[in-house]
């Protein structure tokens, strides 16, 4: 008989979520939630931003599960003094985020937003103007980040009869596994002139911060479209605005930004950038909601249960995070 696995959910978890999670777990997973129990003996802690007391309460702590993708800066700092604690992510929202990439790509390439806005005012002039939509079939899509989201995006691009190229951190020159052409970041300069669509699915790290700037945008062919669902700062703010305003970049679909509300109270009056992207007809703007789907809680609990059940069976837990790399 396997020994019991003690798991603690840090912070405030709604009762129905905890009950639903319990129903998905193996019988030998013991679950607690809320403030750390006393004495604390949990081996796995689940929480995105657990306080120092939760991280230090149990001398048996072996792993922290962050129930989303990425590692908050404060959590990373707290973990610096706990080198023996492994960190794992959940990627339950990867399908939803990948769908948003395709949505923004199509909306930007087909000029959906300005034509919709005009027709609501009975203006049909878009039908007679000489600024046609971008045909995606036969074009090349460059996917930056080939993880859980990027692989799905590449597959969707193949479904649109596009040729996907991908860039990932651990790829080596000439290293192609599976159906897609995968390159290391060092090949980016050679790949950008081939990219009719640049799809940013990267996490923000010291290596990706400002990765796409004026020089990189200038390498894209005329009429290219950019989509960003990673983090705003991966694409330099002013360079992106200027490229769109001057028409060097045909369009962009953006779900991630450069300024965010400090609280929900500020949500009704916070500009997402220092530059007036909202004045540009060739930008589709989304308020960082790619992963927001009605099934989010259900998918999160299912993914968390799969991870915890793997640990209970003595198997390696998936989605281990390299803290030095940031993901």
pLDDT level of residue 3 (50, 70, 90 thresholds): confident
Closest to 314 in 3D by CA, of 21, 62, 79, 65: 62
Please state whether beta strands 163-167 and 140-144 pair in parallel, antiparallel, or not at all (unpaired). Answer: parallel
Please list the residues that pair with 205 across neighbouring strands.
none
Whether 6 and 43 have beta carbons less than 8 Å apart is answered as: yes
Give the integer Cα–Cα distance in Å for 324 and 216.
Answer: 26
Domain count, the chain: 2
Question: Pick the residue with more confidence: 151 or 171?
Answer: 151
Give the integer Cα–Cα distance in Å for 2 and 62.
Answer: 17
| Domain coverage including residue 188 | 94-285
Q: Is 264 contained in some domain?
A: yes
Do residues 84 and 111 share a domain?
A: no
Whether 142 and 167 have beta carbons less than 8 Å apart is answered as: yes
pLDDT attached to residue 172: 57
Structural tokens at position 67: 């129930």
Q: Is 183 contained in some domain?
A: yes
Do residues 204 and 130 share a domain?
A: yes
Do residues 133 and 49 share a domain?
A: no
Structural tokens at position 79: 């973990």
Do residues 56 and 165 share a domain?
A: no
Do residues 57 and 193 share a domain?
A: no
Give the integer Cα–Cα distance in Å for 227 and 195.
Answer: 12
Q: Is 262 contained in some domain?
A: yes
Q: Which segments within the chain are labelled E, that is strand?
A: 5-9, 29-33, 44-46, 63-66, 86-89, 140-144, 163-167, 181-183, 197-200, 225-228, 251-254, 283-285
Q: Is 60 contained in some domain?
A: yes
Do residues 59 and 206 share a domain?
A: no
CATH number of the domain where residue 226 is located: 3.40.50.720
Do residues 44 and 151 share a domain?
A: no
191 Cβ contact partners less than 8 Å away, ≥ 6 residues apart: 142, 165, 167, 183
DSSP at 228: E
Do residues 86 and 122 share a domain?
A: no
Percent of the residues in the chain that have a pLDDT greater than 70, as a whole number:
97
pLDDT level of residue 175 (50, 70, 90 thresholds): low
Closest to 241 in 3D by CA, of 249, 222, 110, 105: 249
Whether 258 and 271 have beta carbons less than 8 Å apart is answered as: no
Q: Is 325 contained in some domain?
A: no
Do residues 130 and 261 share a domain?
A: yes
Give the integer Cα–Cα distance in Å for 298 and 55.
Answer: 26
Give the integer Cα–Cα distance in Å for 238 and 245.
Answer: 10
Question: Tokens 């703007």 — which residue?
Answer: 285
pLDDT tens-digit profile of 217-240? Answer: 999 999 999 999 999 999 999 999
Q: If you average pLDDT over residues 254-282, what whole number do you get? A: 96
pLDDT tens-digit profile of 272-319? Answer: 999 999 999 999 999 999 999 999 999 999 999 999 999 999 999 999
pTM equals 0.92
Q: Which residues of 15-29 are buried (b: 16+ CB within 10 A; e: fewer)?
A: eebbebbeeebeeeb
pLDDT tens-digit profile of 127-150? Answer: 988 778 999 999 999 999 999 999
3-state secondary structure of 200: strand
Sheet holding 29-33, edge to edge: 29-33, 5-9, 44-46, 63-66, 86-89
Q: Is 317 contained in some domain?
A: no
pLDDT level of residue 170 (50, 70, 90 thresholds): confident
Give the integer Cα–Cα distance in Å for 264 and 279.
Answer: 24
Give the integer Cα–Cα distance in Å for 192 and 188.
Answer: 6
Give the integer Cα–Cα distance in Å for 86 and 287.
Answer: 32
Do residues 147 and 239 share a domain?
A: yes
Structural tokens at position 186: 């060092």
pLDDT level of residue 164 (50, 70, 90 thresholds): very high
pLDDT tens-digit profile of 186-208? Answer: 999 999 999 999 999 999 998 99
Q: Is 290 contained in some domain?
A: no
Do residues 88 and 127 share a domain?
A: no
Closest to 194 in 3D by CA, of 156, 142, 235, 153: 142
pLDDT attached to residue 327: 80
Q: Is 166 contained in some domain?
A: yes
Do residues 99 and 88 share a domain?
A: no
């Amino acid at each position: 008989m396997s020994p019991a696995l003690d798991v603690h959910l840090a912070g405030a978890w709604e009762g129905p979520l905890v009950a639903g999670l319990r129903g998905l777990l193996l019988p030998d997973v013991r679950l607690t939630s809320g403030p750390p129990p006393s004495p604390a003996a949990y081996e796995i802690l689940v929480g995105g931003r657990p306080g120092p007391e939760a991280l230090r309460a149990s001398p048996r702590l072996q792993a922290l599960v962050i129930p989303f993708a990425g590692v908050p800066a404060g959590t990373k700092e707290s973990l610096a003094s706990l080198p023996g604690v492994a960190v794992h992510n959940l990627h339950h929202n990867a399908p939803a985020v990948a769908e948003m990439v395709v949505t923004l790509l199509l909306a930007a390439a087909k000029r959906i937003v300005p034509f919709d806005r005009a027709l609501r005012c009975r203006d049909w002039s878009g039908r007679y103007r000489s600024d046609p939509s971008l045909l995606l079939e036969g074009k090349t899509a460059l996917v930056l980040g080939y993880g859980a989201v990027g692989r799905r995006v590449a597959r969707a691009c193949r479904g649109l009869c596009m040729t996907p190229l991908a860039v990932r951190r651990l790829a080596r020159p000439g290293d192609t596994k599976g159906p897609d052409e995968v390159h290391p970041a060092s090949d980016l300069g050679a790949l950008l002139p081939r990219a009719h669509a640049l799809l940013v699915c990267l996490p923000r790290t010291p290596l990706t911060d400002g990765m796409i700037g004026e020089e990189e945008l200038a390498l894209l062919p005329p009429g290219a479209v950019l989509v960003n669902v990673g983090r705003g700062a991966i694409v330099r703010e002013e360079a992106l605005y200027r490229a769109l305003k001057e028409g060097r970049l045909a369009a962009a679909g953006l779900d991630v930004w450069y300024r965010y509300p400090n609280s929900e109270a500020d949500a009704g009056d916070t500009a997402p950038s220092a530059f007036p992207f909202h004045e540009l007809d060739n930008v589709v703007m989304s308020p960082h909601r790619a992963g927001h789907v009605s099934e989010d809680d259900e998918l999160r609990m299912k993914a968390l249960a799969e991870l915890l059940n793997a640990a209970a069976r003595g198997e390696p837990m998936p989605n281990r995070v390299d803290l030095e790399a940031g993901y």
